[in-house]
Structure formats: C-alpha cells, structure tokens
C-alpha cells in the first residue's frame, strides 16, 4: 500500500508531496462519459459497481497517491427526504427545498446503512482493489443547509441568509440535524474502509466573519469531533480571509483554495498540514506553465505536511494532457535535490 | 457641502463614519423602475438627464454622505468598439468578445470627450445640484479585460486564463491599452467635477496570487499613478487573502468586501483608510439584526479612516426599510459616546 498520503498528513518527512485531485473522476475523461451514457448521475452514485468503476478510471491513467469515492455531497439531504434531481447542464436541484421553518418537519433522520447503503458498498468494493488510500467525504452542515434552502446552485445566498437572520434557532436546529447525519455518515465511511475523510464546505466562504464562525466552523467542528481514527480534512472554498480561524474545526489538515499563498498559510497555521492549491484553470495553460506553477505550489508549501492538490475541483473541460503533466511534475519533485 | 467623506478619507477625526452604498441607485427603488420603463439600461447610462435623475433618487430617500454617478463599468470597452448589450435578466453581454490575439486589432483607443461625453455631462449636471461629494468610477483593467474575453458574466474564467497563460504578451498589451483608457476616463471624470474616484476590480479575486499581482494589482497601480487630485479608492472583490498586497495599488483607501474582518484589515493595513463592509445580504434580516451588524462593522473599523459602505453592491431585491435602518444606524453612531 502506498502510504505517502498518510505520512504527509502526519507531517512526516517525505521525498515529494503526495498528489491527488479533487474531482479526479468525472467528465474530463471520455471513459466516464461511456459509463454515463448508460446511467444518469444519481443512478451512477447509487450503483456500487459503476461508482467504483468511475472512481478507478483516473487511477488507470495517472499515478495518483490517493483515491476518493465517487459520490455527491447532496446524497444525505436526499436520504433525509428531499427530492433531488440532476438536470442536464444545470447541476443539482431540490424540487422541494426548505423555504420556511415548517419545512423542517419534513426532514427525517436517515439511517446510513438503510438509506445510503450504496456508498458503503462502493467503498468496500474499492478498498478490496485499491493500492492507494481511499478518501470518504461529505458536505459540511452549512453547505448542505444552504443547498437545501436555496434549492440548487446560486450566486447569492439570499434565501439562506434570510432564513438564519430571521430564524436563527430553527436554522441551528437544521445544522444540528445535519451535524448528526454527516458525522454518522463519515463514521460509516471509515468503518467501510476509508483511510481519510474530507468535509467540503463549498459555500461557507459566502458568509461574513460572524456567520462563518457560528454557522460553518462550529458545526464542522462538532462533526469532526465525532469522527475518529483517520485523518480528517476540512475544505472551505473562498475562506482565505478566515485562515486563522480554520484550525477551530479541529481538522487534521486543511484544504486551501488557489487564492491562499501557501507560504502565508504556513505562517498562519504553523505545523498543521495543508492540501492544495494549484488553480484548476492553470491546467488550461501550456505544459511548461503548468509544470512551473506546480513547482511554485510545492515550493511555497515547503517540505513538511503538504498534500498536492488543486485549489478546487477539476473542471469538466480540462485537457487530459495537463492533468498528466501536473501529476508527473509533482512525482518528479525531490526535496533532497531542492534542499 | 458635506465634507465628512473627504475628512474620513484623510483619516481625520470624525464623530461618525460617512455612509454611502455601492449601487445605492438602482433596481431596489420603485422610482428607478419608473425611469427604466421609458428607456433601456444603456440608454439610461447615455442620457445625462436620466442618469443624473436616478443618481439623485436614493439621496431623496436616505441621507447618504456621498453620491456615485449612475453608469456601467462596461461603457469604456463599448467605446473601444465592442458591441455591448444588456439582456433582460441576463446582465451585460458583448456580442463580439475578444477570443484570440487577432481580435485585439479590432479595439480602438477612444476619446473620452468624443466617445463617452454623456458620462461627463451627467457628472456636470450632478455637481451643480449635489450637496455631497460625487464619486466617479471605472472598472479596473483586469476586470474589463476579463469581461471583454468572457463576453459576459461567468462562474469560471477559463477563457480569460487560457488567454493570458497562452498569450501573456498580447494580454499585457490589452491591459496596457485598458490602463490608458481607464486612466484618461478617471481623469476626465475628475475634471468634470468628481470629488473622489473608485476603481472596481470585481473579478480580480478569481486570480491566483501570482496572476493577481501581475494582471490585477500592477495595472491598477499604473492607472492610479496617473489619476491625481482627489481620493482614489480600489475595490477588489474576493481579494481578502491578498489584503497585505493591496496597498501596492497606491490607492488612498481600500474598499473591502464583507469577508474581511475590519479589525484584521486595520492590523494589516496600518493607517490606510478603509471602506466597507456590511454583508449586503444582512439587509434581508430583521431591523434589530441590521442595526447590530452595522454597529459591529463600525466598531471593528475603529474611529479613524473608515467610510461605511456595504461589502458589495446593493442587491435588486433589498428591502428599502433595511437600507433606511442601516443608514440611520450609522448616522446615530457617536465615537464620543462610544469612546
């Protein structure tokens, strides 16, 4: 088993950073489209053999040091009773979003084994075959709550913010419910065999400082408190201004988006391992630029406690050759040579 | 003349911060819709009497300490020859965006007096009537370049980044051209009577650290170098992680979005005046919350060198009563009482 990821997450000395990419499975690969031709997105998530297959696809092309189970962060809210649909070209949509306090009564506390067994089965299938650590993941309570209230992707968070400004107690109840579900879900993924887990707080960066600490960081910390035994990562997009507060999550490592200079992150975070943070859109550039930017990220992060990744998920139109070049450049790095 | 704004921008002692709101004129006001019923958006920008009228509308309702000329940041690229349209509900769109290096040949260097006389005429009309300082403004070179390449609003900046990664010299040429246009444009607005100017770099926060300094900060600094005689503000949305670099623009004050804790900004920026930064979506909350958050922003900023504003533009569905409450709360503040 390749243990480079786990050593880097313990801040042990490594020759080069481990490398994997958020959304490394998915639409930029033609073999992914072949699978999707036979099944819709949610059907894919819910069919363990197919979800395992698309999880493995990028590993056949690129020597990544970690894998992440193919799944969607909105599976738990769907298991809580919301009607989730993925519309072609429009992303996820809840047909019956939470619009008022009374809607909270519609939500049920799901059982992971009963309502989301497919995720655990996918993990078991993968663990039997993988030679690299497998990440489990979940959406963080705030981001899930915001999706459930907005009903789908949005530029503004007017509904979510109106909800918590007018009904802070009910919003906290929703976060508490989600905290339980997400913690149970992560624990179950670890029991099924995941070697690390990541909590995605994609939308937390829309919050102002007060709301960020109260509604994003605090519930994330309560989730991670209950998740033990493997490294636990936290990723909040657009949260660069809140860098100094992120350790309050209690995460074992922080994933940072591409706007956070990693040398400054080091200064703010001390020994806490970091993951990131190449701008995914740099992969649209020529190969020499891709390789130079990869080296820049590694150099800024320094030799200890760094997992190389993108600063956000791979985009569907990313050139495959750029992914290959970036992975190759990370693997060619040598701290012995640089030092 | 109310000079509170100018005193705050010089970091002189003030009893309370001056207050105005980005996009204080616009769609949240029914009287704005009455004007728009007669003329389309670009027609409104290009008709000095009407542009002056909608600029004045918010001042009749709220005792703002500053005004900002009603206009759009994309007027200069349109004057450079691009075909600009505002589609109902979809925002601005260039029908003939810059898609390759050859497209740069289509751009012409506009004369402000010949190609954008309406903006200057609007300013002259306003200055004759206003009892508060009038802001002029422009989009910063990077943000204008990105609009011209993307063709309109976007979630990703793949086209822009592909352009500058593959054609850095041509992209720099575009930025240089825009730097000249924007500097001339701001100088002309000052000559027409503006008492302050603001450079809006709405999209700069999408850039990674290296690109941000090279393609956003450096051209903004070159613009501001050429703009003299009045306070010059710089606003880059989502640029919280780059706070320590923003003084490189040479701006006299920095407008900060709602994710930057103003006490931390103070620590990073020293005596440089700041403007901001109430989350515009807090205005969807109940009045007591609006008022409490207003006080929180003022307290975090401290008594010297703070102009109260939102952390981004007013949203079109903002309740008018919240705007009134926020302005009232700023005006009720007293540093003598607090101190």
Q: What is the pTM of this model?
A: 0.96
C-alpha closest to that of B258 among B309, B212, B303, B305:
B309
User: What pLDDT score does A288 carry?
Assistant: 98
| From the candidate CATH numbers 3.40.50.880, 1.20.1050.10, 3.40.50.2000, 3.20.20.210, the one assigned to the domain spanning A4-338 | 3.20.20.210
Query: B101 and chain A: CB distance < 8 Å anywhere?
Result: no
Q: Are A54 and A25 in contact, with CB atoms under 8 Å apart?
A: yes
Distance separating the N- and C-terminal Cα atoms of chain B: 27
Summarised one tens digit per residue, pLDDT across range A118-150 is 999 999 999 999 999 999 999 999 999 999 999
Summarised one tens digit per residue, pLDDT across range A25-74 is 999 999 999 999 999 999 999 999 999 999 999 999 999 999 999 999 99
User: What pLDDT score does A294 carry?
Assistant: 98
For residue B339, pLDDT beyond 90: no
Summarised one tens digit per residue, pLDDT across range A255-288 is 999 999 999 999 999 999 999 999 999 999 999 9
User: What pLDDT score does B155 carry?
Assistant: 87
Integer Cα distance of B132 and B1 in angstroms: 6
Query: A247 and chain B: CB distance < 8 Å anywhere?
Result: no
| Tokens (6 digits) for B101 | 């290096």
Q: Calculate what percentage of chain A has a pLDDT beyond 70.
A: 100
Task: Look over chain B and give the mean of its residue pLDDT values, rounded to a whole number.
Answer: 97
User: What pLDDT score does B90 carry?
Assistant: 79
**Partners of residue B321 in chain A, C-beta under 8 Å:** none
User: What pLDDT score does B1 carry?
Assistant: 87
Residue of chain B minimizing CA distance to A318: B158
Query: B89 and chain A: CB distance < 8 Å anywhere?
Result: no
Q: What is the DSSP string of A79-125?
A: HTT--EEEETTTEEEESS---SGGGGGG-----HHHHSHHHHHHHHH
Q: What is the dihedral of CA A277, A283, A289, A294, to 10 degrees?
A: 30
* Cα separation values, B232 from A23, B6, B74, B198, Å: 42, 11, 19, 6
Q: What is the mean pLDDT of residues B67-87?
A: 96
Query: B238 and chain A: CB distance < 8 Å anywhere?
Result: yes
Distance between alpha carbon B84 and the CA centroid of its chain, in Å? Answer: 20
Active site residues of B: 23, 27, 36, 72, 147
Interchain pair A241, B242: CB under 8 A: no
User: What pLDDT score does B246 carry?
Assistant: 98
pLDDT band at residue A155 using 50, 70 and 90 as cut-offs:
confident
**Nearest 5°: phi and psi at A309?**
-155, 180
* Cα separation values, A77 from A220, B272, B315, Å: 16, 46, 29
Task: Look over chain A and give the mean of its residue pLDDT values, rounded to a whole number.
Answer: 97
| Tokens (6 digits) for A38 | 């036979």
**Partners of residue B154 in chain A, C-beta under 8 Å:** none
Q: Are A123 and A192 in contact, with CB atoms under 8 Å apart?
A: yes
Integer Cα distance of B87 and B42 in angstroms: 11
Summarised one tens digit per residue, pLDDT across range A68-95 is 999 999 999 999 999 999 988 778 999 9
Q: What is the DSSP string of B124-147?
A: HHHHTT-SS-EEEEEE-HHHHHHH
pLDDT band at residue B84 using 50, 70 and 90 as cut-offs:
very high
Query: A279 and chain B: CB distance < 8 Å anywhere?
Result: yes
Query: B279 and chain A: CB distance < 8 Å anywhere?
Result: yes
Q: Which of residues 29-58 of B touch A (CB under 8 A)?
A: none
Summarised one tens digit per residue, pLDDT across range A271-280 is 999 999 999 9
Among partner residues B162, B281, B317, which is closest to A157 by beta-carbon distance? Answer: B281
Integer Cα distance of B167 and A91 in angstroms: 32
Summarised one tens digit per residue, pLDDT across range B164-223 is 999 999 999 999 999 999 999 999 999 999 999 999 999 999 999 999 999 999 999 999
Interchain pair B258, A156: CB under 8 A: no
Residue of chain A minimizing CA distance to B257: A208
C-alpha closest to that of B211 among B222, B223, B219:
B219
Number of residues written out for chain A: 339
Q: What is the mean pLDDT of residues A5-9?
A: 98
Interchain pair A238, B238: CB under 8 A: yes
Which residue has tokens 């930064």?
B277
Summarised one tens digit per residue, pLDDT across range A304-335 is 999 999 999 999 999 999 999 999 999 999 99
Summarised one tens digit per residue, pLDDT across range B257-289 is 999 999 999 999 999 999 999 999 999 999 999
User: What pLDDT score does B121 carry?
Assistant: 98
Q: What is the mean pLDDT of residues B295-323?
A: 97
């Amino acid at each position: 088993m390749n243990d480079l990821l786990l050593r880097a997450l313990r801040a042990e000395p490594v020759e080069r950073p481990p490398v994997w990419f958020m959304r490394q499975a998915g639409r930029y690969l033609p073999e992914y489209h072949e699978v999707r031709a036979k099944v819709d997105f949610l059907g894919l998530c819910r069919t363990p053999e197919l979800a395992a297959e698309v999880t493995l696809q990028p590993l056949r092309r690129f020597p990544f040091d970690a894998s992440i189970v193919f799944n969607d962060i909105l599976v738990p809210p769907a298991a809580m009773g919301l009607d989730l649909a993925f519309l072609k070209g429009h992303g996820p949509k809840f047909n019956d979003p939470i619009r008022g306090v009374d809607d909270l009564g519609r939500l049920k506390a799901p059982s992971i084994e009963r309502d989301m067994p497919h995720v655990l089965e996918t993990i078991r299938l993968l663990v039997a075959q993988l030679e690299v650590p497998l990440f489990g993941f979940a959406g963080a309570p705030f981001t899930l709550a915001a999706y459930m209230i907005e009903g789908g992707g949005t530029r503004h968070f007017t509904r979510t913010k109106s909800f918590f400004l007018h009904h802070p107690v009910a919003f906290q109840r929703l976060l508490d419910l989600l905290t339980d579900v997400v913690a149970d879900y992560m624990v179950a993924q670890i029991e099924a065999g995941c070697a690390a887990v990541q909590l995605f707080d994609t939308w937390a960066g829309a919050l102002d400082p007060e709301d960020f600490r109260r509604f994003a960081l605090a519930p994330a910390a309560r989730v991670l408190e209950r998740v033990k035994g493997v490294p636990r990562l936290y990723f909040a997009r657009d949260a660069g201004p809140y860098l100094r507060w992120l350790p309050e999550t209690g995460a074992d490592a922080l994933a940072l988006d591409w706007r956070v200079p990693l040398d400054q992150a080091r200064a703010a975070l001390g020994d806490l391992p970091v993951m990131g943070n190449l701008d995914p859109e740099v992969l649209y550039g020529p190969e020499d630029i891709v390789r130079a930017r990869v080296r820049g990220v590694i150099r800024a992060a320094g030799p200890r406690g760094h997992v190389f990744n993108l600063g956000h998920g791979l985009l569907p139109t990313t050139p495959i050759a750029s992914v290959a070049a970036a992975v190759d450049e990370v693997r060619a790095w040598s701290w012995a040579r640089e030092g």
